[in-house]
Chains A and B, each alone.
Chain A
Amino acid sequence: MRWLIASSIIFVLFLSIIPLPFELREWRPEFVALLVVYWATYSPQHFGVFSAWVCGILLDIVCLNPLGQSALGLIVVAYISHLSYQRIRSYALWQQSAWAFVLVGVYQLFSNWVNSLAGKDIETMDFLGATLLTALLWPLVVMVLRKIKIRFRLP
């Protein structure tokens, strides 16, 4: 189980720095946040707030951000998922997707908050595009990881 979590996180770290044209960067889905929500919802016993923090620090190192910028948002998101995973897991996929939209939005809010502390201009609603794309990826992530878990007989 642990190796699956670790390797999926490392995989999305690569996805989150694949070079994109400058104009398209705003539309890059928040892959790491999506995976953190997934693992905190589907195996909360293996993936806690501390793991989310480690993921955030790794993401900041790789993205050359100030340390803690995304870690702050990710621990909040992981905590909320931990409080709500029992109910969320019984929802239909599209409902979970809507929930992921809210959580990733919260994560974006925190990282934009840190950004504005550092003196960046924040365009009001531009980041919602990336959040929407991330939410649309949720069913895909759930189904692919379900296949992988069945293949390797993981819980």
Chain B
Amino acid sequence: MTLVLLGVERYTNYLSSLRHYFNTIAVPFYWVSDIPERIGLWFDDTFESRYTLMEENKQLQQRVLLQEARLQKMAALANEANRLRGLMGSSQLLEDKVVVAELLGVSPDPKVHKVVLNKGAQDGAYIGQAVLDAYGLVGQIVATTPYTSEVLFITDDSHAIPAQLIRNNVRTVIEGVGDLYQLRLRYVPSSMDIVEGDLLVSSGLGGRFPAGYPVATVSNINRDPGESFVRVHATPTAQLNRSRYLLLVFPAGVVGDVKIDTSNDGNEARDVKIDLSSNRSALPGQE
């Protein structure tokens, strides 16, 4: 009977709705097992000395100032990039909306790199949604209940993500190997221009992950003439085992302000003569 159950679960979709209810049963378990962690955090918050808090406040204010300065530059750049994209007739993808989610539990199976978050279908989370932390791409949502969702990390050995090198835009595929600090690049030809330290960002191919988020840095290249492909390993930029807060990404056009300009399709854009010196009037759709 158990074997039949296993087979049905593995090879058909028959149990998936049932599974949804079962996962809801698991929610209170995760909630309760998270209590010690939350008590610890509460202690940290409550019994902090005034001096430490002031010190921290000062540091944070400095950081805010720095980041705001950087953001000003960023805003100008984003504006410019959006305009160029508009000129080329592609949609504007630079403004994604994010929702902060908190870690609720970690998958107990050492071979599975999965975590449970405290935002579920009721908060708009959906299967296939990309998840970030402050440093890079973390993974994607593979199951949701009304109040929680399961995130599969990019390091899980069943996961792969299309990416490109930020230096020269060469596209590649990064797959997990079941190691939290290592990823592997698939099918890298020996002629490819790749060096250690290269940053890989998500390419957005396949439509699952939004483009442009950092995924990994190349850590190790092994060119063995006897093999048909170069063996390349990379380190994920996200701090997969440290972040308690993760970000769910809503690509522009799914939730919130719809920023995609539908007025210009491919034909129209090709007719537009690009003139960078005159700024606004050259935008397609305004002619």
Contacts and interface: CB of A to CB of B under 8 A. Distances in A.
A25 B106 contact: yes
Interface stretch (B21-29, B127-135, B203-211, B273-281): B21-29
A16 B9 contact: no
Which DSSP category, helix, strand, loop or mixed, fits chain B's interface?
A: mixed
A155 interface: no
Contacts of B180: 22-23
Most buried by A among B2, B3, B37, B241: B2
Contact of A121 (B33, B106, B157): B157
Contacts, number: 94
A64 B150 contact: yes
Contacts of B37: 19
Interface stretch (A39-47, A67-75, A133-141): A67-75
Interface stretch (A80-88, A98-106, A112-120): A112-120
B23 A66 contact: no
Contacts of B108: 16-17, 20, 25, 28, 63
A62 interface: yes
A107 interface: no
Given A64-B23, A114-B6, A118-B10, A13 B106 contact: no
B64 interface: no
A71 B2 CA distance: 7
A18 interface: yes
A145 interface: no
B109 interface: yes
Interface of A: 13-14, 16-23, 25-26, 28, 53, 56, 61-69, 71-72, 75, 114-115, 117-122
Interface of B: 1-3, 5-6, 9-10, 15, 19, 22-23, 25-26, 29-30, 32-34, 36-37, 105-114, 116, 143, 150, 157-158, 178, 180, 240-241
